[in-house]
A = this chain, B = another copy of it.
Amino acid sequence: MDATAETVNQIIRFVDLAGVLANAILGGIAARSARLDIVGFVILAVMSGLGGGLIRDTLLQQGPPVALTDPAYLGLAITGAMIAFFVPFRGIWSLRSLILMDALAVGCWAAVGAQKTLEAGLGWLPAIVMGIITAVGGGAVRDVMLLHVPRIFGGNTLYATSALVSSVEMVVLSKLGMPTLGSAVAMASGAVLSLLARRYG
């Protein structure tokens, strides 16, 4: 593995985990809106931050989900719940950084989901679908448990569209032998589309 690939892999891991933290905090904020106690914060944070990956790994059946075997995931999800519980997140700048991290995560999670599916020996179409599931699954489970219409349906489906675009990019570039470039492009376009979706969606 050359230096560029290693750098991109480190960026992927950083964005992946930052996405877990950001989504866990967003889950905690949803728990606050629903006036839950701290256990409710943790449950919603874990679902928001890890739900997509849990569904992906359960479907791929390559062993227990990475969210359970790699302690960083659960640790960050619970940290996110605690942050959301103790920090009010009323300032515009703290919300903006959350939204930015979440936007970066959409493309990153889609890329990771698509790549893992290809590595499991499955075809390009399942890879695209699993990329989307990885990116939007956690949020969908969180929304349904709170009896909200899932965000991927309600009003702002450009969110799911950006996961679709990132998954397609990842699959195409991975099949062309450029998975590293694929991850970078998927992450960048996912972020841009998600932010556009927030602004104009």
Contacts and interface: CB of A to CB of B under 8 A. Distances in A.
A54 B150 CA distance: 20
A177 interface: no
Copies of chain A in the complex: 3
Contact of A153 (B40, B64, B152): B40
Contacts of A54: 59
Interface in A33-53: 34, 36-37, 39-40, 43, 46
A195 interface: no
A200 to B, nearest CB: 14
A161 interface: yes
B74 A39 contact: no
Nearest to A117: B68
A125 B61 contact: no
Given A125-B75, A150-B145, A161 B120 contact: no
B122 A68 contact: yes
A68 B64 contact: no
Interface in A118-148: 120, 122-123, 125-126, 129-130, 132, 140, 144-147
Interface in A142-164: 144-147, 149-150, 152-153, 157, 160-161, 164
21 contacts: A34-B153, A36-B153, A36-B157, A39-B164, A43-B160, A46-B129, A54-B59, A58-B61, A59-B64, A59-B68, A61-B63, A64-B122, A68-B130, A69-B122, A69-B126, A71-B125, A74-B125, A74-B126, A144-B144, A145-B150, A146-B149
Given A36-B153, A74-B125, 12 more contacts: A39-B164, A40-B152, A46-B129, A58-B59, A59-B64, A59-B68, A61-B63, A64-B120, A68-B122, A68-B129, A68-B130, A144-B144
